[in-house]
């Protein structure tokens, strides 16, 4: 295993627009490369420029704490940083991979974020994050912290094949429980579900049940991308060795799309399956409909928010970013139901907007990308921080309410 110590020039990754999944504009990669070596990892793709053999060679940014302190120190900044979470994780290497036991870069980054009072979100697959429980509790008390774990399946055998370097799904869920018990909000990223392997109705139900039992604050769900080149050939090689019967299906759904997306038809089926299970409408699910899988909860009882709930971000964002996140969440929840929505284009239009926010809702003015309904939602958010349509949609998507949002009939 090669650890290559390097000197980084900068650490903080800044996004031009807020990311509504993470409610974040800032992130960092303290390691380049990942010992976890998940077969589906897109960090392996050429576009990420991770040198050497992925899974073995990892660049360690040993001067990261020093650079990060300089970049974050409010006294050295001309403009204050924007609100939202600082993301530790994701990208091209898990921040709690085994090298962290030696280098303590994540711990030091958290100490700096705590010192300057920034909110933090950790996304990992490693139980090593338990080491920093005390620090994350302190951050949560002063500025908010969230701990998120990702898994592609709750099935131990599937995980051993496709996520060979990480603790089992059961161990990851146990650590999520531990953080929750210690008062830190948690999330499960059921991401990526592996086509034809962990995207089955039974495994999705089991994952949702595990998430509900772990009492996560929200769940992020998503399919897998497979970019042509190193990522695709590594994954298909693993697939051929363990489950060759699916190779043909993969060739059918992954057709060289630039970003590695599967066919739209596949994602539509996946989202519709997930939505039905989430709402207890799957037909094979709970005791309420005589399902076959036994022990799975009944209709609408998972009750897990499918995006970060507003109580975890409402007070962190300025008006513009709050509007963007809410509109984007609404768009996602409509798409999950297989409905087109104009809220996504409105979110993008607001993100790009440089003028006063009140101009977005001025009577008689139509701004490209912002429909009348979206403008009404924006007006409500500006007035009271949220919108009734958004709240209705959240309740409906969690199965708490059967009342369909008004715009579900005509979301334009
Ligand atoms: S833990 Fe994340 S970054 Fe590391 S190999 Fe797996 S998917 Fe990639």
Is there a domain that residue 311 lies in? no
Q: Are residues 277 and 340 in the same domain?
A: no
Is there a domain that residue 327 lies in? yes
- Domain with 333, as residue range(s), is 319-408
Percent of the chain at pLDDT above 90?
78
CA of 343 to the centre of ligand 1 (A): 31
Q: Which two tokens stand for residue 221?
A: 């769900």
Q: Are residues 168 and 268 in the same domain?
A: yes
126 lines ligand 1 (CB under 6 A): no
Lowest mean pLDDT among 40-44, 238-242, 306-310, 405-409: 405-409
What gap in Å lies between CA 356 and CA 358, rounded to an integer?
5
Q: Are residues 259 and 385 in the same domain?
A: no
Q: Which residue has the higher pLDDT, 285 or 388?
A: 388
Q: How confident is the model at residue 1, as a pLDDT?
A: 59
Q: Which residue has the higher pLDDT, 408 or 370?
A: 370
37 lines ligand 1 (CB under 6 A): yes
List C-alpha distances in Å: 281 to 160, 215, 406.
31, 21, 21
pLDDT at 107 over 60: yes
Q: Are residues 160 and 109 in the same domain?
A: yes
Q: Are residues 145 and 89 in the same domain?
A: yes
Residue 111 near residue 142, CB atoms below 8 Å: no
Q: Are residues 275 and 336 in the same domain?
A: no
Is there a domain that residue 299 lies in? no
The CATH number linked to 368 is 1.10.150.110
Lowest mean pLDDT among 76-90, 119-133, 153-167: 76-90
Lowest mean pLDDT among 174-178, 225-229, 280-284: 280-284
The mean pLDDT value of the chain amounts to 91
232 lines ligand 1 (CB under 6 A): no
Q: Are residues 33 and 136 in the same domain?
A: yes
Buried b (16+ CB within 10 A) or exposed e, 106-132: bbbbbbbbbeeebbbbbbbbbbbbeeb
The string of pLDDT tens digits covering residues 278-325 is 887 765 443 333 333 333 344 457 889 999 999 999 899 999 999 999
Q: How confident is the model at residue 291, as a pLDDT?
A: 35
Nearest CA to ligand 1 atom 2: 94
Q: How confident is the model at residue 401, as a pLDDT?
A: 73
Average pLDDT over residues 80-85: 95
Q: How confident is the model at residue 287, as a pLDDT?
A: 30
The CATH number linked to 54 is 3.80.30.30
CA of 303 to the centre of ligand 1 (A): 28
38 lines ligand 1 (CB under 6 A): yes
């Amino acid at each position: 295993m090669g650890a290559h110590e390097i000197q980084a020039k900068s650490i903080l990754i800044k996004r031009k627009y807020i990311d509504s999944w993470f409610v974040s504009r800032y992130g960092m990669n303290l390691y380049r490369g990942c010992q976890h070596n998940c077969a589906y990892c897109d960090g392996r793709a050429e576009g990420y420029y991770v040198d050497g053999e992925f899974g073995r060679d990892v660049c360690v940014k040993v001067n990261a704490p020093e650079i990060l302190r300089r970049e974050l120190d409010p006294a050295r900044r001309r403009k204050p940083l924007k609100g939202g979470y600082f993301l530790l994780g994701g990208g091209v290497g898990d921040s709690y991979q085994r090298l962290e036991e030696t280098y303590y870069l994540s711990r030091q980054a958290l100490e700096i974020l705590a010192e300057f009072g920034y909110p933090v979100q950790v996304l990992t697959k490693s139980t090593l994050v338990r080491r920093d429980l005390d620090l994350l509790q302190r951050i949560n008390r002063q500025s908010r912290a969230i701990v998120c774990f990702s898994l592609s399946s709750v099935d131990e055998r599937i995980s051993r094949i496709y996520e060979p370097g990480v603790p089992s799904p059961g161990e990851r869920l146990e650590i999520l429980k531990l953080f929750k018990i210690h008062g830190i909000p948690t999330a499960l990223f059921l991401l990526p579900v592996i086509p034809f392997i962990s995207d089955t109705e039974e495994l999705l139900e089991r994952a949702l049940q595990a998430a509900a039992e772990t009492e996560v604050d929200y769940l992020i769900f998503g399919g897998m991308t497979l970019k042509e080149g190193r990522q695709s050939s590594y994954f298909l090689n693993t697939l051929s060795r363990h489950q060759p019967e699916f190779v043909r299906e993969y060739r059918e759904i992954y057709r060289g799309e630039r970003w590695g997306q599967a066919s739209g038809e596949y994602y539509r089926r996946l989202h519709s399956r997930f939505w039905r299970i989430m709402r207890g409408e799957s037909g094979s699910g709970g005791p309420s409909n005589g399902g076959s899988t036994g022990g799975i909860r009944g209709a609408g009882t998972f009750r897990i928010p499918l995006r970060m709930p507003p109580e975890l971000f409402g007070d962190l964002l300025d008006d513009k970013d709050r509007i963007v996140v809410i509109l984007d969440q609404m768009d996602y929840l409509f798409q999950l139901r297989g409905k087109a929505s104009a809220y996504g284009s409105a979110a993008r239009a607001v993100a790009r907007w440089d003028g006063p926010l009140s101009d977005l809702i001025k009577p008689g003015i139509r701004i490209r990308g912002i429909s009348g309904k979206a403008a009404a939602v924006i007006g409500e958010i500006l007035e009271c921080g949220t919108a009734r349509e958004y709240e209705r949609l959240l309740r409906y998507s969690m199965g708490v309410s059967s009342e369909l949002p008004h715009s579900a009939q005509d979301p334009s």
